[in-house]
Chains A and B, each alone.
Chain A
Amino acid sequence: MRRVVSGLFVLFGTTVLLTGCWDHNELEEVALVMGMGIDKTEDDLYKVSFQIVNPAQVSGGDMAGDTGEGTSVTTYIETGETLFETTRKISSQVPRNLSFSHMVVLILGEELARDDSLYEIMDFTERYYGFRPTTLVLLAREGQANSILSILNPMERIPAMKIEETLQKTTEAWGENPERNINDVVQSLSTKNKNLTLSGVSLVGDKDEGQRADKNKEAVPGSYVEISGMGLFKEGRLEGWLDDREARGIAWVLNEIRRTVLTIKCEKNKELIAAEVRYSKTKLTASVDEGKPEMTINVQGEGPLEEAACPMDLTDPKVIDQINEKFESAIKQEVTKAVKIAQEQKNDVLGFGETISRSHPEEWKSMKDNWDETFSEMDVHVEAEFFIRKTGLRTNPLILDKK
C-alpha cells in the first residue's frame, strides 16, 4: 500500500513538470487584450497597439459602478524592434500582466502588409504561447491599425469585439469578406502558393472624434469602423483590393459563400428580383490537355425568392425556370469577372494551382515554375446552377394586382 501511494505521488509529481503554460494569476492582475494592431513607424520599428478592457466599465450590474463614466477600453501603444519585445516593454505603461488568450482580432496596417513583414508577424503569433490560433486577422485599409482599433462603438462596448462580430456577421450574411484567423493565414503562407485574401477594415469619419466616450451618445455616429473590401496577397505581400461583386466573385470560387443576396433585372423592365442564396457549393475541376491546364468552376446554389417587383406569374414553373437561368448567368458573370481580374494580376488567390497539383501531380511539376504566366493564360469555364426553393410567404408579386 505504501509503495502504491508513493508511486502515485511520484507520478503526479512528474506530471506537474510536464504541464505547459500554466500559472497562477489572480483575476485582478490580468489585463485582457482584446485586440492588437500592428503598424510600422518611419524608423522601421513595430508600433503595436494593445486594446485592453476596463472590466468595470464593460459589464453592467450594481458592482461595476457607474458605467459610461470612463471608456470601456484603453489602447496602449508601444514600439520596438520585435513584436515580442513590445509585449514586455508595455509593462511600463500597463499595471497588469497582459493576457492574449481572449484576443479576438489582430489588425495589420496596410503599409505593413505591403512589405514582407507578414511572415515575421505570423511567426510570432504562432510561436508565442499566449495567442489563440482562432484570432481573426484583418487589414487596416488606407490607415493605421491603431486608429481603427480605438474607435468606440455604442452597441458593442469593446471595439475589437465590434470588428470581430461585424466581420463574422457580414461573412455569414453577405459573403464579400473572408473570415480568416491566425491559423488560416499561417496555413496559406506555408503552402505552395502563398496567395491569400484578407478582409479589410476601414475608418469612416474623424479619428479623434471616434475615440471619445461621449460620442456613444450620438444616434447617428459621425465616425465608425466598417469592414470593407478584400485584400489580395501575392506571396505574402498585399497587392491590391477588390470590392463588392468582384470580391464576392472570388468568394464564390473559393467556396466561401455561406449566404448572400443575388439581384437580377426582369426582361426589358427595370424592376428587380432578389433571392437569398441559402446554400451554395463550388467545385473546381482541373484538366490538363497537352500540357495546357483548364479549369472548370461549377457553382451550385439555392434559396428562396425574397423580393419580387416584376409583374410575372410566379406560379408558372416555366417562369421560375427563366428566373433560375437569370440568377445562374448573374453568378457566372460575377465569377468570370473575378477570375479575369485574378488572371490579369497574375495572382492565383483562387487556389487553381493547389487544385491542379492535387489532381494532376505529374503535369504540375512542369507547370509550377512558370505558374503565374500559365495561370494568367489558362482557360476557365464557369458553370452555374441555381434553384429557387420557394417564393417566400407570398406567391405572386403584389404588382400583378395593380392591373
Chain B
Amino acid sequence: MNFWDRYRKKLKKLSRKETPPKIDNSLDHKLDTNIDKLKKELGESSDLVVRHFELGEEFCVAAAVVYMSGLVDEKKVNNFVAESLKVEDSLKKVPYPQKSMFDIVKSRALSVNKVVVAAEWDKFLLSVLNGETAILVDGSNEAITANTKGGETRDVSEPSTQLVIRGPKVSFTESIGTNVALIRRYIKSPNLRFETLQVGSITKTDVAIMYLKGTANEKVLREVKKRLNKIEVEDIFESGNIEQYIQDNAFTPFPTIYNSERPDAVVGNLLEGRIALIVDGTPFVLVVPAIFIQFFQSPSDYYQNYLIGSFLRLLRIISYIISILTPSLYVALTTFHPQMIPTSLLISLAAQHEGVPFPVVVEVLIMEFTFEIIREAGLRMPRAVGQAVSIVGALVLGQAAVQAGIVSPTTIIVVAFTGIASFATPSYNIAVAPRLLRFLMMILAAAFGLYGVFVALFILIAHLTSLRSFGIPYLSPFAPFILSDLKDTLIRQPLWSLVLRPRLINQQNVKRQERGKKPSPPEKHEDN
C-alpha cells in the first residue's frame, strides 16, 4: 500500500510539472520573423521548403510559400499556388500596398480548391505539417493555407482480409480522404454525415466519425464523441489504438468493436444505423456498436442466395464452437468418460494411444502449442519461406510425430480440425479469441472432465452476456431475446423479408423497405 501511495504521489508531481509554458500563439506582422520562428520550431528541418516571392510591380511586397516536401503534391504547389501568384494580373497593379495584398491573394490569386485563413500560430503550424501549403505575406499577421495534400499513397486494391467470392473487390486504403470517398460512392444521400477530429497530442491523427443522420442512434453517437474526446494520448497509429481506448470492457478476449477493410461491409453497417470511425493511416475502419453475431456475417451472405448464405453462416458458427470445444471435449471424453465413446471408436483410440508416452492432455497441449507456433511463424516469415514453414510444420512434423510415437494420430486430427475450423470465421479479431480460450478449456477438461468443460462454457456464456458495446448487449438479439431481429443472425432470411432494421441498434428510422416485395413469376394474361 505504501508503495502505491508513493507511486501515486510521484505521478501527481509529474503531471503537475507538465503544464506547458505559455507561448505566444499568434503570427507576427513581419514575414521574416514568422519564417525564422517556423524554422526554429521545426529544428531547421531539411524537408521544410520556403520560397520567397516579391508580389506586385508598383509596390513590391515580400511573400513566402511554405510547405513540407513529400507531404504535398508538388505539381499542385507549382501549378496552382506558385504559378498563379506570379501570373495573376491583379497582383501586379495593386493600388494600395501591403494590406490589401493579402486579401487579393486570398480571394483572387489562388486556383486551389480549398483555401483557409489561419490566424493562430498553432493552426498555421499544424496545417503545414499536415501537407498544406501556407502563404505568408509581409505585413499581415495571418497566413493563407491551401490544400495541396498529396505525396505517396497506396492505390485502392483488393482486400487482403475478409475475402469473398462474389462482391466488390475494393478495400480501404491508408488515406482517410480516399476512404471517405469510397463510402460516399455507395451512399448518395445528404444524410450521410461525417465529422472529423484529431486524436493524439503528437501524431494529430485525423479520425472521421461517419454516420447516417436520422438513422444512427443519437445516444451512441454522443457516446462515441465523448469517448473519442476523452482520449489523451500522444500517438494513434491505427484504428486498433482507438479501439482499445473506446471499448466498453477492456478485460475480454472478444472484440466489442467491429472492423473491416471492406467498404461494402461498412456501408451495410452504416445503413443499419451504426457509426463508422475512419482513422487516417489505416485501411481498417471501426464500426460501433458491434454485437457478437455480427462478426459471423460476411458481406457475401447478402450477395448470394439466402439459402446458401444461411447455410454458410450456420457453418461458420458451428465451426467457431468446434474451434473452442473440440480439444477439450476430446481430452474430457477420453480420460474421464470413455463410456460415452462408441465401443469400436474407443478401441481404435486406445490402440493408437498404445505406446504414446504422454497423457492425452499433454499430447493435445503439445500439438496445440506447436500448431500455434507454426501459425505465428508462418505469418511472420517472408512470403516465400512461409509456404515452406507451413508444409514442414503441418506435414512433416505431424507425420513424424505420429511415427515417432510421441502423439497419436487422433490427436493430430483433433488439433488440425480445430485449427482449420478456426479459419472459417470471417472476422479475424473474433477468430483469435478461441485460440486463447482453448488452452484454458483444455486444462479444465483435464482436471475435471466434462464438468470442467461445461463450467468453462457456463462462465464463457455469462461473460459474453455481460459484455456491452456502446451500451448494446453483446449477445443481442439472443440475450435479450428479440424475435424480430433474429431474421439476420444464425440464418439470413431473404432480403425482401428484412423489412425492419435491427431494433437495438437503431430506434428512429426503423423501416428499411416496404413489405411484400417477394419476387414472383408474371401473372398469366388472357391476351398472351
| Chain A residues close to B by CB (< 8 Å) | 8, 12, 15-16, 19, 22-28, 30, 32, 34, 53, 55-56, 58-59, 61, 63-64, 99, 101-102, 104, 132, 161
Contact = CB atoms under 8 A, between A and B. Distances in A.
B354 A28 contact: yes
B409 A63 contact: yes
12 contacts: A15-B451, A16-B448, A22-B336, A23-B336, A30-B350, A32-B350, A55-B348, A58-B348, A59-B348, A61-B352, A63-B402, A64-B352
A79 to B, nearest CB: 27
Nearest to A130: B339
Given A26-B335, A26-B359, A27-B334, A53 B352 contact: no
A61 B344 CA distance: 13
Contacts of A16: 448, 451
B347 A58 contact: yes
Contact of B354 (A32, A55, A102, A161): A55
B451 A27 contact: no
Contacts of A34: 343
A27 B449 contact: no
B339 A101 contact: yes
Contact of B338 (A30, A53, A59, A104): A30
B322 interface: no
Interface in B437-463: 446, 448-449, 451, 455, 459
B313 interface: no
Contacts of A30: 338, 350
B336 A102 contact: no
Nearest to A63: B352
A27 B338 CA distance: 8
B151 to A, nearest CB: 50
Contacts of B335: 24-27
B326 interface: no
B352 A22 contact: no
Contacts of A61: 348, 351-352, 409
B510 interface: no
B408 interface: yes
A59 B351 contact: yes
Q: In terms of DSSP, what is the predominant structure of the interface of chain B? A: helix
Nearest to B332: A24
Contacts of A102: 338-339, 343, 346
B489 to A, nearest CB: 28
A28 B352 contact: no
Nearest to B334: A27
B102 to A, nearest CB: 62
B346 A24 contact: no
Interface of B: 334-336, 338-339, 343-344, 346-354, 356, 359-360, 402, 408-409, 446, 448-449, 451, 455, 459
B360 A27 contact: yes
Given A24-B335, A26-B335, A26-B360, A19 B451 contact: yes
Contacts of B448: 16
A56 B449 contact: no
Task: State the 8 A-B residue pairs at the shortest beta-carbon distance, nearest first.
Answer: A101-B339, A55-B351, A55-B350, A59-B348, A59-B351, A27-B353, A102-B343, A56-B351
Given A27-B335, A99-B338, 20 more contacts: A19-B451, A24-B449, A25-B336, A26-B359, A26-B360, A27-B349, A27-B350, A32-B338, A32-B347, A53-B350, A55-B348, A55-B351, A56-B354, A58-B348, A58-B351, A61-B409, A64-B352, A101-B339, A102-B346, A132-B339
A19 B452 CA distance: 12
B445 to A, nearest CB: 10
Contact of A28 (B348, B356, B409, B455): B356
Contacts of B408: 63
A56 B354 CA distance: 7
Contacts of B356: 28
A27 B349 CA distance: 8
Contacts of B352: 59, 61, 63-64
A34 B344 CA distance: 11
B359 A55 contact: no
A104 B353 contact: no
- Residue among B343, B351, B449, B459 facing the most chain A CB atoms (10 A cut-off): B351
Kindly name the residue among B335, B343, B349, B352 whose own CB sees the greatest number of chain A CB atoms within 10 A.
Answer: B343
Given A23-B336, A63-B408, A12 B350 contact: no
Contacts of B347: 32, 53, 55, 58-59
Contacts of A28: 350, 353-354, 356
A58 B345 CA distance: 11
B423 to A, nearest CB: 28
Nearest to A5: B459
A32 B347 CA distance: 8
A25 B451 CA distance: 15
